[in-house]
Structure 1
Amino acid sequence: MNIVFAISEVEGLVKTGGLADVGRALSIALANKGHNVSVFLPYYSAEKSLGILDNAQVIDIDEPLFSQSRVYNFNLLKAKWHGVDLYLIDYPEYFERDGLYGDAYHAYEDNGERFSFFSGAILHSLFHLKIKADIIHCHDWHTGVLPFLLHHNPDPFFADTRAVITIHNAAFQGVVALENIPFLRHHPAVLEQVHGGYINMLQMGIEFASKITTVSPNYAKELLTDLGSHGLHACLAKRQKDLSGILNGCDYSAWNPKTDVYLDQHFDADSLNLKARCKADLQHCFNLPQEARVPVIGMVCRLTNQKGFGYLLPVLDQLLQHNVQLIIAGTGDPAMCMELNTHVEQYPQRFAFFNGFSEEMAHKIEAGADFFLMPSQFEPCGLNQMYSLAYGTLPIVRGIGGLKDTVVDLHESPCDATGLVFYEPSGDALMSCIRRALLFYHEFPDVMTQMQIRGMQTKFTWEASTRHYESLYKSLM
């Protein structure tokens, strides 16, 4: 099949979150299966230092892209990347900026225009390069306008092209005032998409894509509820038969305790006792007492309410009264950072906080912690619980989204258990689950070892995910 990825970030090129991981892993997996895969990505400032682009071909799109109100002249950079044809949309006015979507905590005011143009530029490029796509796979709100533009494109060149959109996080929808999008403002069909002067770019993708996917089966179910859909319930209910959840895979080449370059000690399921050295190294890195029998809970995430800090912060004092060590690494809300730092000062022997992101620290926490905390408010898929399982670190999670699909609770199914799960969205429920984990750690070490080994033997591969996407694509051809 000829498959085109329309995506705003790809790991290894430019990344802010899990969307980029999918962009890399799925496109490469499809190419390895023999499909012709082209990835279209904006040419951001962050990509200009990449060695992969040193020999990139510059393609001049000699006919500019016209909208009703503006002419857009842009170029393409083309490079071969892991068996994939990589195309970068080069339009400095929109993409030559310090951030991908904003500065610090403020989104760029012209994001609607930037990514509407990006969607139009992809179709324009496909036409001029004569790339006849069977499937254009769009990702999140950034490319939500593309299915709308494809649907309303009368050119027979696109007659057999179908659009699929994947919702990675429905909380982010690209709701923008139409007056701020010159690229779309005078499109003859766009007024039907306007509500109160605004368009919802993700909703446009949902309405006009041939199929809609999301990143876990359980999140697909949640999207059909008022609470879980972030206001898109009615729109998604109309497309229910075209909505499916395909669980993301895990890149075990990067997350493998037997080969991880960041670890002080390698180990696997047959040498789990060596994990203790990783725990001691982690405690040393964060200046915590190197006490082998004190349980260590790790957490690596953005500091936002989505990640469950609304549940964790109110009970943090209670948690740190226990004989436990808690290590959190992440960036985000400045107020949350301040509160965490205050607790570090109060509990220097039990709590460490790293305000930033470090790949090395993330790997050390996954390997050295006994438990990994993910009390998310919502979690479309989640990857850290998969990493944790691979490293024999038991996840403590809230049973929502992809967390429910990937972690089996100790009480619900003792013979298959791989972690501990709570459901109620409250600090009390979280605290109860953590206490259950601590009691389990001290009273049933042999059972815990069995759970750790079971988790390490559990695999969520991209090969399995890719088969589902192939089947979905073929159903449209």
Structure 2
Amino acid sequence: MVTDNLAVLFVASEADGLIKSGGLADVARALPESLKQLGQDVRLCIPAYSRIEGVHEAPVVLDTELTFWPHTQYRVRQLALGEVCVYAIECERYFDRPEMYAEHNQAYMDNGERFAFFSAACLDMLPKLNFKPQIIHSNDWHTGLVPYLLRQRYRDNSFFHRIRSVLSVHNAVFKGVFSYDELRCIPEFHTKHVPEAAVSASHITMLKAGVMTADKIVAVSPTYAQELKTELGSHGMGREFQQRSGDLVGILNGCDYQTWNPATDTLIPANYTQELDSLLGGKQACKAALQQRLGLPEVSNAMYGMVCRLTHQKGIQYLLPILAQFLEHNVQMVVVGTGEIGMATKLKALAEQFPDKLRFIEAYDNELAHWVEAGSDFFLMPSEFEPCGLNQIYSMAYGTLPIVRSVGGLKDTVIDYGQNAPEATGFAFYDPSPEQLLITMLSSLLLFEQQPEKINQLRQRAMQQDFCWSSAAKHYLELYRSAIEKETIYR
């Protein structure tokens, strides 16, 4: 019997407002908050990284050790994110470090053991805290062992009877591959025979363990759910996702419009709305301020922005070969991000070659990201793959037209002007090539220069789009209820 109000434990390796490295943290904050607003008893569990401000002063609600071998000692400290209760699992040997996952671009050697322990502790703490969720929602490989342990370790434990598991796949390129010897803290792995997780005779992937044992699997956009069933789109796990296709759904991530709203954003130089005079005046003021901040000439030329990690996933390899040719036109561009050294080096050289047109800021700067969204006319996201993407949604909210490769969540959120001009909210291409990106960028520039009234219509239509988290949360509630009603084949 499914009640209207559910108890949910949301398990993630990071959460915005406490500690963040990427989009997973945005979801780990926004989705529990939205579920809470819908009347659900949702609680969040993350590692108690020493970098979390005030974590070691937070009250201890549990001081214990793992009931199962190796009986690792840990504490649970209680924090809060808005109205959401947060359980932070404290274990100095694993989480008292300068960073979450890596230092100097080198992953911690014991990451497998660290997050295997975290997965085990998330379950171990529940009866000791007397909190019995109906749903445990884990995220990506870091918590992929939660569904596995729920199935294997606790299948005959009456406390865990009827608890269902959901696994969100935010990015299947990261699978958490480790040898059995690196996961000695999980006694179920001592036989070195774990078909639900194995990728070879000596290694397992924690993501596969979750995919093969969770009651429901959710991709962060409908198109990405379909892509995961292919070998290319899943980066080698197509067969596993095909096997679980009956329990795989896609739910598009929401947007935090409290943070990303040009009418109320306190970080940008001028606020504005979708009303045309406000939009034009606000965008002009924000562009001028961005040009001043970057030391670019204050001209009315089209401004192209890009804020991302410098990786192949984000399509930098499509931009670099055609960027010099594009910059010969009456345009300006700003790229903000860090990542692969070779890509950064090429961007620096191009910025020197075009000092009045291109700025490359090698940094992570949240305020500057808001300035780029508000001050640009177009926002580049030519991703090789993009499970959901958020910047294209932020861009539309700011009347900044996204230029995207039509994959994953980008396909689900951006309507291409070339394919459907009356409903368009941006520009899209599909073929993964520099030439197609250049054609699309030139098409946007031509429209900007020759038909500004069309650009303004596109801007206003983009700003009218609504990807709110409250809507996404209702879809998650439907998924949770279907998981609870399911007669699972696993337990």
Where on the TM-score scale, by shorter chain, does this alignment land: which range?
over 0.9
The one-letter code of the counterpart of 2:384 is: Q
Is the 1:178–1:185 Cα contact (8 Å) retained in structure 2?
Answer: no
Deviation at 1:190, TM superposition (A): 5.9
Whether 1:470 aligns to 2:452 is no
Aligned with 2:87: secondary structure? strand
Is the 1:184–1:190 Cα contact (8 Å) retained in structure 2?
Answer: no
The one-letter code of the counterpart of 1:382 is: G
TM alignment of 1:437-448, pairs within 5 A: 437-448=444-455
Whether 1:165 aligns to 2:173 is no
CA shift digits 1:77-111 (9 cap, x unpaired):
01343221110000011111111111122211111
For residues 167 and 395 of structure 1, the distance between their equivalents in structure 2, rounded to whole angstroms, comes to 24
The one-letter code of the counterpart of 2:181 is: E
Aligned to 2:397: 390
For residues 397 and 252 of structure 2, the distance between their equivalents in structure 1, rounded to whole angstroms, comes to 17
- Which residues of structure 2 form unaligned runs of 5+? 1-5, 485-491
Deviation at 1:309, TM superposition (A): 0.8
Count of aligned residue pairs for this structure pair: 471
For residues 78 and 278 of structure 1, the distance between their equivalents in structure 2, rounded to whole angstroms, comes to 41
Aligned to 2:41: 36
Is the 2:144–2:210 Cα contact (8 Å) retained in structure 1?
Answer: yes
CA RMSD in angstroms, aligned pairs only: 1.3
Q: 2:214 aligns with which of 209, 215, 228?
A: 209
Moved more, 101-110 or 394-403: 101-110
Aligned with 2:78: secondary structure? strand
Moved more, 17-26 or 319-328: 319-328
Whether 1:5 aligns to 2:13 is no
Aligned to 1:279: 287
The one-letter code of the counterpart of 2:315 is: G
Whether 1:230 aligns to 2:199 is no
Q: 1:174 aligns with which of 148, 173, 176?
A: 176
For residues 100 and 74 of structure 1, the distance between their equivalents in structure 2, rounded to whole angstroms, comes to 18
- Which residues of structure 1 form unaligned runs of 5+? none
Aligned sequence identity (%): 44
For residues 56 and 149 of structure 2, the distance between their equivalents in structure 1, rounded to whole angstroms, comes to 33
Is the 1:89–1:118 Cα contact (8 Å) retained in structure 2?
Answer: yes
TM alignment of 1:313-332, pairs within 5 A: 313-332=320-339
Deviation at 1:468, TM superposition (A): 0.3
Aligned to 2:256: 251
Aligned to 2:382: 375
Is the 2:169–2:220 Cα contact (8 Å) retained in structure 1?
Answer: yes
With the length of structure 2 as denominator, give the TM-score of the two structures: 0.94
The one-letter code of the counterpart of 1:282 is: L
For residues 200 and 32 of structure 1, the distance between their equivalents in structure 2, rounded to whole angstroms, comes to 35
Runs (4+) of structure 1 exceeding 6 A deviation are none
For residues 436 and 428 of structure 1, the distance between their equivalents in structure 2, rounded to whole angstroms, comes to 12
For residues 438 and 359 of structure 1, the distance between their equivalents in structure 2, rounded to whole angstroms, comes to 27
Whether 1:241 aligns to 2:249 is no
TM alignment of 1:9-408, pairs within 5 A: 9-47=14-52, 49-50=53-54, 53=55, 56-67=58-69, 70-152=70-152, 153=154, 154-187=156-189, 191-193=193-195, 194=198, 195-270=200-275, 271-274=278-281, 275-292=283-300, 294-408=301-415
For residues 450 and 411 of structure 1, the distance between their equivalents in structure 2, rounded to whole angstroms, comes to 15
Aligned to 2:423: 416
Name the CA shift for 1:112/1:20 in 2 (closer, same or farther; >3 Å): same
Deviation at 1:366, TM superposition (A): 0.1
Deviation at 1:185, TM superposition (A): 5.0
CA shift digits 1:35-87 (9 cap, x unpaired):
1111110000210x24xx586321343344432xx330011101343221110
Is the 1:65–1:73 Cα contact (8 Å) retained in structure 2?
Answer: no
Deviation at 1:181, TM superposition (A): 1.2
For residues 101 and 185 of structure 1, the distance between their equivalents in structure 2, rounded to whole angstroms, comes to 24
The one-letter code of the counterpart of 1:287 is: G
